[in-house]
Amino acid sequence: MINLIKNELYKLFHKPSVYILMLLIVIFNFIGIFGYKLLVTDDSTSATINQMNISTYETLLSTLDPSNSADVGTYVEYKVTYELLKFENDHSFKSTSSEYYYIENNIKSDLTKLYTAQYINKDDEGVKEAQAQYDKDVDFLLNNYDWKVLVNNEITKDNSMIKLLDESTDSTQIETIKMDIVSLQYRLDNNVPFSQTDASTDLSGYSSAYSTYSSYSTDEKTFATRDQLIQKRTAEKNYKLLKYRIDNKLITNDESYGNSYSSLNMFKGAFTSISFIIVLCVIIISSSILTEEFNKGTIKQLFIRPYTRSKILTSKVLAIFITVLLFILVNALSGVIISAIVNGSIKTLADPILVYSFISHEVIKMNVLSYSLLTFLTLLPEYLMLTFITLLVGALTTNGASSIVGGIGLYIVSSIFEAYATIKWVSFVPTMNWNLSGFLFGGISEYQYVTLGKSIVIDVITIAALVIGTYIVFDKKEIKNQ
């Protein structure tokens, strides 16, 4: 058997198709990672965009008449944006900086108040007040800027809010404010100013994550629809994970935080999901390894040997598995390496992966290897179904195009059925059950009628049928005249 498998791999790797597919995988990774880097971190392009926008708004403003009550609301809106853009253009702060955030929030609100007072309310006192506030804030920004002051202001506000609320108030409200204070304190202790970074956004969302989570009942039986249950679980997971990150100081202003193309995520992604290029690889390899031999007649070279047909087929199946695994590894490694080169660091690989378990209702820490392997196993039914539908159609028709259509057809059909998941019988369709990753750590399927036990049974029956069908067809195949 080993020799048969060696032969199959030898034939596969002496053809260009395997290498072309690997190259495609690497290219796709490169485009994804490099594109993300350009999009997210390049501020020079936004300067050009800003210039364009400034002249656009100039034109827009010239078309509106602020003395006209129908236009004035829009006028104020545009004027605020216009002045803001000019301001940002004059003082170039990086879009991820806390100063930029201050401009987009505080300065913007100051301008809004100013122009509302000026054009809508036509209130001179209000204008004076607003202008003074604006000048004060700009001065703070340009001369005395210290983000910690802003954070401390918020803490003070929260504390006075708590004092105001008496004991008869719902304790959740008080807890929510306390959570906010925790997140603010975290900022001070760990140097995370208000900004547009993922770290700051996560921290800002902490208190609302808590209040959303507390709004749901903990008794899952009370949820009528699957959607509601998923909302409750998502809220629980979000809050608990944030809490864990805060408690363990895992939220940092590091560029790698929240980078979906970090080395860690590139490695993980190769095992935890099946991208379309990998689906193509599985189908193309499964198709060619069988149908090409029938079409070129070389299958006879395999059949007139002292091996049963089952053994010949098994060697091809194992060769497919080995080659697909290789594609997955190429995907993982090229992703890690390109990410390390583009982002300048590979150390995210050592970061732990945080998973929320609905069994223990706690956050579990795992290293990327174990997590990837575990999730990969839950995707095996999908890999097996795609492989064997292609092989079965290939054995039946001995036609390469038909077998590829068989495989891709199944893949396309799977997404069609997903759209109709609310119909009960659709949950019996094998492709609705081929991804078991949702059930990890006590999870549930997003589809109403899909459960773990049922999925496993359907997967086993489907795969067994495809495998047995393929072996029987292959065994009984009559070699017709060429």
Partner 1 sequence: MKNILSVNNICKSIGKKQILKNVSFNIEEGEILGFIGPNGAGKTTTIKLILGLQSIDSGTVKINGYDIQHDFEKAIARVGGIVESPDLYMYLTGRQNLMLIKRMYKDIKDEDMDNIIELIGLKNRIDDKVSKYSLGMRQRLGIGAALISNPNVLILDEPTNGLDPEGIKDIRDLIKKLAKERHIGVLISSHNLSELESMITDACIIKDGTIITTQSVTNLKQKSNTSYLIELNKTTGIKKLLLDGDSIMDDTHIRVYRDKKDIPELLENLIGNKFKIYEVQLEKLSLEDAFLEKTGGNIID
Q: Is 298 in the site for partner 1 (CB under 8 A)?
A: yes
Residue from 28, 30, 87, 307 that binds partner 1 (CB under 8 A)? Answer: 307
Write the CB contacts of 394 (distance below 8 Å, at least 6 apart in sequence).
286, 287, 290, 291, 400, 402, 403, 406
d(CA 89, CA 46): 10
Rounded to a whole number of angstroms, the minimum distance from the CB of residue 308 to partner 1 is 7
SS3 content of the chain, % helix, strand, coil (to 5): 75, 0, 20
Q: Which range of residues in 111-119, 173-181, 191-199, 296-304 is near partner 1 by CB under 8 A?
A: 296-304
Residue from 35, 73, 297, 344 that binds partner 1 (CB under 8 A)? Answer: 297
C-beta of residue 134 within 8 angstroms of C-beta of residue 111: yes
- Given the complex with partner 1, which of 165 and 479 has the nearer CB atom? 479
d(CA 58, CA 111): 17
How would you label 235-269 residue by residue, b for 16+ Cβ within 10 Å and e otherwise? bbbbbbbbbbbbeeebbebeebbebebbbbbbbbb
Rounded to a whole number of angstroms, the minimum distance from the CB of residue 254 to partner 1 is 50
Instruction: Write the interaction track for partner 1 spanning residues 14-43; mark x where CB under 8 A is met and - where it is not.
Output: xx----------------------------
- Given the complex with partner 1, which of 6 and 136 has the nearer CB atom? 6
d(CA 382, CA 276): 13
Closest Cα to residue 141, out of 189, 192, 182, 194? Answer: 194
Instruction: Write the interaction track for partner 1 spanning residues 253-292; mark x where CB under 8 A is met and - where it is not.
Output: ----------------------------------------
Query: In this structure, what are the phi and psi dihedrals at residue 356, rounded to the nearest 5 degrees?
Result: -100, 125
Residue from 128, 136, 300, 365 that binds partner 1 (CB under 8 A)? Answer: 300
Residue from 172, 218, 301, 422 that binds partner 1 (CB under 8 A)? Answer: 301
Rounded to a whole number of angstroms, the minimum distance from the CB of residue 302 to partner 1 is 8
Residue from 306, 415, 425, 453 that binds partner 1 (CB under 8 A)? Answer: 306
**For residue 10, what are its two tokens?**
């030898």
Q: Which range of residues in 70-78, 106-114, 204-212, 304-312 is near partner 1 by CB under 8 A?
A: 304-312
Residue from 249, 305, 361, 365 that binds partner 1 (CB under 8 A)? Answer: 305
d(CA 123, CA 185): 39
Q: Which range of residues in 94-102, 302-310, 377-385, 406-414 is near partner 1 by CB under 8 A?
A: 302-310
Rounded to a whole number of angstroms, the minimum distance from the CB of residue 468 to partner 1 is 19
Tokens 């992604």, residue located: 269
- Given the complex with partner 1, which of 285 and 463 has the nearer CB atom? 285
- Given the complex with partner 1, which of 284 and 436 has the nearer CB atom? 284
Q: Is 310 in the site for partner 1 (CB under 8 A)?
A: no
Q: Is 7 in the site for partner 1 (CB under 8 A)?
A: yes
d(CA 473, CA 457): 24
Q: Is 91 in the site for partner 1 (CB under 8 A)?
A: no
Rounded to a whole number of angstroms, the minimum distance from the CB of residue 330 to partner 1 is 22
Residue from 11, 37, 157, 243 that binds partner 1 (CB under 8 A)? Answer: 11
Reported for 408-417, long-range contacts at CB under 8 A and 24+ positions apart, including other chains, are: 408/279, 408/280, 408/283, 410/385, 410/386, 411/279, 411/283, 411/386
Residue from 30, 303, 321, 449 that binds partner 1 (CB under 8 A)? Answer: 303
Query: In this structure, what are the phi and psi dihedrals at residue 104, rounded to the nearest 5 degrees?
Result: -65, -20
Tokens 């129908």, residue located: 70
Closest Cα to residue 132, out of 114, 120, 158, 150? Answer: 114
d(CA 424, CA 408): 25
Residues near partner 1 (CB under 8 A): 3-4, 6-7, 10-11, 14-15, 296-301, 303-308, 476, 478-479, 481-482
